[in-house]
Structure 1
Amino acid sequence: MTQADVAESGLQKLIANLLLSKWQLRLTMLLAGAIYPLAFAPFGFWPIAFFSFLPLLYVTVTPAVLSPFKCGFYWGVGAFGIGASWVYVSIHEFGFVPVFGAALMTLAFVLYLALFKGAFAYFVNLIWRKANHQLLLLSAPFCWVISEYMQSVVFGGFPWLLAGYSQIDSPLAALATWLGVYGVSWMVIALSAGISLLLSERSHAAKLALSVFAGVILVANVSLKEPTNATEPKSLKVALIQPNTPQAQKWDRKYFGDIVDSLFTTSADVWGADFVIWPEGAIPAYEHQVRDILADLTLINQRYQSNLILGIPEYQRDTEKSYVALMAIGEEPQNYRKQVLVPFGEYVPLQDLLRGLIKFLDLPMSGFTQGDAGQPPMVFEKVTMIPAICYEIVYPEIIHRLASNGPDGRQQLIVTVSNDAWFGDSFGPYQHMEMARMRALELGVPLIRSTNDGITGFVDLNGEIISSLPRYQRAHLVDEVSLENRDTIYRQIGFWGIVSMLLLSLFFILWSIRSKHDTK
């Protein structure tokens, strides 16, 4: 017996011992899930994702004292309990919910999200029992991507901690230019499944599949070196403003004058830029309430032949509806209305029943209406800007749709504004920026991001941060933004790439189940 055989046998015995006790297995799954967020920002230890998935996949297809659903559920509790812990900060510090109530609401949220991982493990085990075991290479990524998609759309969705985001700085990130973030997730789980099969069965099919996957990743990375579609890339001078307004003061009228003054002061030296970007809700008032301020800003930007883009709430008197909006004033005025609203923060589901129950459900500015899904991007003479307000940037389908709705043949730039003060001093702002970087990589276009208190910065078409401001600093950031674009496969076909992979995986899964059934 070789040293490798001895090591493998020892590992299998260790794992087998863990499967004998319910409490040991629960703890193992909780810990495996708890290390998962370390693969994401602000830590960025992307290999951790694979170490996190291996125990989950192993126990999912191995007889154990806990059901596969429970194993996946406990893994999800660990993952979201750590990775989405910032939800507690938002509820307690800014929703004014007492410690116990905020902890209870956060726990309920984490348990809800963990259900999707429990369902993942259940269906992987179901397919494992009914099909050829080598199909784990397809069934695991198939079920995982479906679970991530359901997590992203059910009840408005929460597309946070998708496996693909953890690989933004790894070689796997290049796959996003073909298949988007879900395609990267598919490959992460497929590789983990292949390694799991090697450890448990010494599968020759797994060795072959891992070799093929490595080749695909290599080709995807080579494609990033191909020339872009701009022979002479133009550039824009852009100034990003980070006012660092404390969230507790944001909607307090006695601070209104100071907030507006700080915006003007921080912008004073950069009005000559092609675009000046203020963050989401920069002016804490409705548009019609500050027309004198907007008129002054229009004159300033016309004088400098510039455009100011700022987040400001909009109210329509004729329909009595209000919107979270992004407004461009100056040389080319236009606006955009936010399509995806944050539940309880910007609208209250079943508000006739829920409003007034607790203070958290009566936050200021929480009665907005969704913007039209068919809105075009913001089209300027020099560039087409794909707008995204705060939470929208984490929805790849919205950003792709806006990019597709723009005029053909024009250079594009993603502009996203946010107020991440709601996250407090937590992982949230870093995870948010990480997801924004993925949108730039998917579409092959640069991205600019202006926030209230960080992370404000410039991102290139490869998803790399070019420059950024520290958190909690009132400042402006000026840079030349190259309008070089890459015509990625994902930009051309959107979700059809990953949908095709899922359908192909489903075909082989069903074929394997039928073949195994026919041989009995």
Structure 2
Amino acid sequence: MMVLADRVALARGWRRAFIALVAGAIGALAMPPFGVFPALALSLTPAVWLLDGTWKSPSRAGALKEAAFIGWLWGFGYFVAGLWWLGAAFLVEADQFAWALPFGVFGLPAGLAFFPAFGFALARLLWTPDSWRVITFTLGLTISEWLRGHVFTGFPWNNPGMALGQNLWLMQTASLVGLYGLTFLAVAMASAFAVIGTGKTARERWTAPAFALVALAAMVVFGALRVPDGPVATIDKVRLRLMQPNLPQDAKFNPANREAIMRRYLSISSADHDGRPPTHIVWPESAFPFLLHRDPASLAQIGALVGRNALLITGAARMDQPLPGEQVGKFFNAIQVIDGRGSILSSYDKVHLVPFGEYVPKFFDALIRAVGLRQFVHIPGGFEPSATRATLTVPGLPAVAATICYEAIFPGEVLPEGPRPDLILNVTNDAWFGQTPGPYQHFAQARLRALEEGLPLIRAANTGISAIVDPYGRVVASLPLGTEGVLDSDLPAAILAPVSAQYGRFVLTATLVICLMASIARHRRRVSPI
């Protein structure tokens, strides 16, 4: 082990680059749907050794540049291996977007890799020759991951904390520390094994890994004790039906097929399963290739489906009335609630839009249009974001925190201001990404939001994964990816807000500040040029 650590630390040129790239790619195996947590240790252990090797740089500035480059290479490997499935979206309309596929598969990872580059450089700035460098490394990578989740609208997809956010018992710790707290723990435990190959004594080699294993065991015990033996209580007089049409995101999904699409939705949704009629039917995001609120015939068909005793909750694009002098109004990606008369009772407009998917950021607008591109959705000018995140009112249901598509991946941002809702609703359309890891990763992140907030999750997805998740993150019922059908279920009740929902940001900030101060103090006392 010590020989291997030395060889990695002393690697230069293409060998160093190759090790960093491969190490990053291995880390992606810890993400859904694979969930191989030891892969994160195999990924971060050589990353620590590579940073050890920067001590030969003739200057501190040179060492920081080397560390940043190592971090960029590691991040590029990690994001390409974990996000390659984004390329599937460019093949839906291949005649228009296939040529740009490399920009999605490699361009986005290249940009995201600057975040771990910053994290590695920050860690190297405070590097020490002892086991504490594991904490310093964890500090740098956790801060960079927090930045990735917030800068430029944020993109916290495949955060390293998700390596611990898939197993039911391990993920319970998120109820205390949230996703970024899981990231701190995951990086610390995974990188602790680096000292086995660098410690000068047996105590130095095994103390950190022992702490990591004890912490992992403690998480398992906490999770086992926290998850109740039986199901949680359910909401009276609520019976849910989630419709998963498994409609491909291709030429079939266009206005010319509106009648066929409606027949398909109505047929699937009206199937009788257990003899208990639903009170609330849920359809996925942007379910229609037309403006539902301007189509009386379709609204009438929906009204006939739900009758007097039920409601439909569906994703649907909507358009405001155009302003004077304008030909078209503003478009919104929305959720609408429809009753038995075909009337729209309430609506929620998406706040956090997908850059380049639902709109083109103004900074890139001229460049994108110069090369003949547009956002993926066929909406003139793209969608407009809602100014505020509002509670969705649905008769017969508790207050709803509505999220559309990837709004559910942002920890601490799924609930509206004001009184705490009693459930999270997520409607999405992952048909863009086919049978790839993408939909599994999306579902895993939405599931963790339920646990962090102590709220049940209702998730309706076009191609899957549709599910009902209880406040402990347990999947009550689900429909697998790539299948057509309906899912009938009762609605689990919410539990008291967990620590993460109330104090998660304070816990994370306090932890990072303490570790930063300790790292600065230890760095000033260091006795080695490493």
TM-score range, shorter chain: 0.7 to 0.9
Please name the residue that 1:248 is paired with: 250
Would you say the 8 A contact 1:377–1:405 is kept in 2?
no
Please name the residue that 1:405 is paired with: 418
Would you say the 8 A contact 1:378–1:386 is kept in 2?
no
1:309 aligns with 2:313: yes
1:38-77 counterparts in 2 under 5 A?
38-63=29-54, 67-77=66-76
For 1:174, the aligned partner's letter is: Q
Please name the residue that 1:326 is paired with: 335
Please name the residue that 2:297 is paired with: 292
1:20-99 counterparts in 2 under 5 A?
20-63=11-54, 67-94=66-93, 96-97=95-96, 99=98
- Match of residue 350, structure 2, among 338, 353, 374: 338
For 1:190, the aligned partner's letter is: A
- The 3-state SS of whatever aligns with 2:477 is strand
Would you say the 8 A contact 2:435–2:481 is kept in 1?
no
Judged with a 3 Å threshold, the aligned counterparts in structure 2 of structure 1 residues 465 and 260 are, in CA distance, closer, same or farther, namely: same
TM-score (norm: length of structure 2) = 0.85
Judged with a 3 Å threshold, the aligned counterparts in structure 2 of structure 1 residues 100 and 476 are, in CA distance, closer, same or farther, namely: same
TM-score (norm: length of structure 1) = 0.87
Would you say the 8 A contact 2:285–2:314 is kept in 1?
yes
- Structure 2 distance, partners of 1:323, 1:250, is 22
1:448 aligns with 2:458: yes
- Match of residue 276, structure 1, among 264, 278, 281: 281
Please name the residue that 2:59 is paired with: none
Judged with a 3 Å threshold, the aligned counterparts in structure 2 of structure 1 residues 269 and 296 are, in CA distance, closer, same or farther, namely: same
Structure 2: state its 5+ residue gaps: 57-62, 324-328
| Percentage of pairs with the same residue | 27
How far apart are residue 176 of structure 1 and its match? 0.5
- Structure 2 distance, partners of 1:235, 1:71, is 57
Judged with a 3 Å threshold, the aligned counterparts in structure 2 of structure 1 residues 98 and 389 are, in CA distance, closer, same or farther, namely: closer
Would you say the 8 A contact 1:176–1:490 is kept in 2?
yes
- Structure 1 distance, partners of 2:220, 2:428, is 35
For 1:31, the aligned partner's letter is: V
How far apart are residue 180 of structure 1 and its match? 0.8
How far apart are residue 361 of structure 1 and its match? 4.1
Please name the residue that 1:3 is paired with: none
- Structure 2 distance, partners of 1:56, 1:151, is 19
1:163 aligns with 2:153: no
1:371 aligns with 2:386: yes
1:111 aligns with 2:110: yes
- 1:215-252 per-position Cα deviation (integer Å, ceiling 9, x unaligned): 75356426624799987865732111011222113552
Would you say the 8 A contact 2:465–2:480 is kept in 1?
yes
Judged with a 3 Å threshold, the aligned counterparts in structure 2 of structure 1 residues 100 and 348 are, in CA distance, closer, same or farther, namely: closer
For 2:288, the aligned partner's letter is: I
How far apart are residue 162 of structure 1 and its match? 0.2
Would you say the 8 A contact 1:91–1:102 is kept in 2?
yes
- Structure 1 distance, partners of 2:226, 2:348, is 32
Judged with a 3 Å threshold, the aligned counterparts in structure 2 of structure 1 residues 362 and 241 are, in CA distance, closer, same or farther, namely: closer
Q: How many residues are treated as equivalent by the alignment?
A: 499
Please name the residue that 1:6 is paired with: none
Would you say the 8 A contact 1:191–1:210 is kept in 2?
yes
- The 3-state SS of whatever aligns with 2:412 is helix
1:347 aligns with 2:362: no
1:136 aligns with 2:133: yes
Would you say the 8 A contact 1:355–1:362 is kept in 2?
no
How far apart are residue 384 of structure 1 and its match? 2.2
1:201-216 counterparts in 2 under 5 A?
201=199, 202-203=203-204, 206=208, 209-210=211-212, 213-214=215-216
Please name the residue that 2:172 is paired with: 174
Would you say the 8 A contact 1:91–1:360 is kept in 2?
no
- Match of residue 200, structure 1, among 198, 201, 206: 198
Structure 1: state its 5+ residue gaps: 1-10
Name which of structure 1's ranges 144-153 and 174-183 shifts more when overlaid on structure 2.
Answer: 144-153
How far apart are residue 442 of structure 1 and its match? 1.0
Would you say the 8 A contact 1:238–1:273 is kept in 2?
yes
- 1:61-120 per-position Cα deviation (integer Å, ceiling 9, x unaligned): 334789222222221121111110012211233464565532144322111111212221
- Match of residue 149, structure 1, among 146, 151, 154: 146
Would you say the 8 A contact 1:228–1:487 is kept in 2?
no
Would you say the 8 A contact 1:235–1:483 is kept in 2?
no
Judged with a 3 Å threshold, the aligned counterparts in structure 2 of structure 1 residues 397 and 473 are, in CA distance, closer, same or farther, namely: same
- The 3-state SS of whatever aligns with 1:333 is strand
Name which of structure 1's ranges 315-324 and 259-268 shifts more when overlaid on structure 2.
Answer: 315-324
Would you say the 8 A contact 2:319–2:331 is kept in 1?
yes
- Structure 2 distance, partners of 1:397, 1:30, is 32
Please name the residue that 2:482 is paired with: 472
- The 3-state SS of whatever aligns with 1:485 is coil
- Structure 2 distance, partners of 1:512, 1:309, is 56
Judged with a 3 Å threshold, the aligned counterparts in structure 2 of structure 1 residues 342 and 98 are, in CA distance, closer, same or farther, namely: closer
- Structure 2 distance, partners of 1:81, 1:64, is 29
- Structure 2 distance, partners of 1:174, 1:39, is 18
- Structure 1 distance, partners of 2:67, 2:369, is 39
- Structure 2 distance, partners of 1:317, 1:360, is 23
Would you say the 8 A contact 2:238–2:396 is kept in 1?
no
Name which of structure 1's ranges 461-470 and 59-68 shifts more when overlaid on structure 2.
Answer: 59-68
- Structure 2 distance, partners of 1:230, 1:438, is 17
- Structure 1 distance, partners of 2:12, 2:367, is 45
- Structure 2 distance, partners of 1:483, 1:439, is 15
Name which of structure 1's ranges 470-479 and 259-268 shifts more when overlaid on structure 2.
Answer: 470-479
Judged with a 3 Å threshold, the aligned counterparts in structure 2 of structure 1 residues 99 and 252 are, in CA distance, closer, same or farther, namely: closer
